[in-house]
Structure 1
Amino acid sequence: MKPFKYAAVSPADHGTPAMAFGKHVIRMMAANTGGSLGMLEAFVPPGGGPPLHIHDREDEFFRVLSGRFGFWCAGDYLELGAGGCIALPRGVPHRFQNVGKVEGHLMVVVMPGGFESFFPIVELGKPQTPEEIASIAAEFGLTFLPPEDQNAA
């Protein structure tokens, strides 16, 4: 990986689409930032969002670009609309959900970078079972928590 000595740029309407678990656009890869960060956009339908999960390797920063989202983290819950931001620490169970009536749009920054590659890898691998998904997730330090824990966040 090259050292992060020059600006990493993602012009408007550029990025690499990844259609795993919904529509994502990878805007900045860890390889372009010396591993410092990765950035993606997520387009989330009403009611959509990941189950409760834990990232072992990275912190996450979210900015709501449009729509309204609920965020659960370490037993806390809050809602954010367009322009709202939240940072979630690694190692802590969390999830988010589009709680609005229209598609929502998030900017997600992961620090350090690397997790942004999860969605293209899932798209390429086309896992069919929860076990296959969990196997890919484990390669990225991601653990999905059991359904009975979903209300614990």
Structure 2
Amino acid sequence: MSATTPHGSQAVDDLRVETNTAPPPSSDASLSELISRLGNDVTTLFRQEVELAKIEIKGEAVTAAKASGMFAAAGVAGFVTLLLLAFAAAWGLAEVMPAGLAFLIVGVVFGSAAAALAMAGKKRFETVDLTPHATIETMQQNKQVLTDRKSA
């Protein structure tokens, strides 16, 4: 087993290792003991799958939160910049051209900058994947094991 998953989570691998810790049933165990053990194993398996999904989704949620923060900060910075520098630039240009044209030019420049920031934030959001791939993989493996046991 690898040291980390594709998402870099050692906790996911540690959780997978724990799924195979139950001792094999002895040949002289009663039916009620086997059913009890099966119930406990299914409960443990379900809890571990839920924990695996939480771990996997948490990593992507952190990435999404960081992207959201960057997007919000870009919006605030763009707004403050627009307010402070737009007036200064427009009044500076108004010294050599009509004031209306100067303000229009400055507005287009700052609008372009805001659009670039918005596209960068959108691009960062597109990299977020909240699908719990490791959980889906282990659930498919569990299904296959149960299917194989049922047919045996």
TM-score, length of structure 2 as denominator length: 0.19
Q: Which has the higher strand share?
A: 1
Bigger Rg, which one? 2
Q: Which has the higher helix share?
A: 2
TM-score, length of structure 1 as denominator length: 0.18
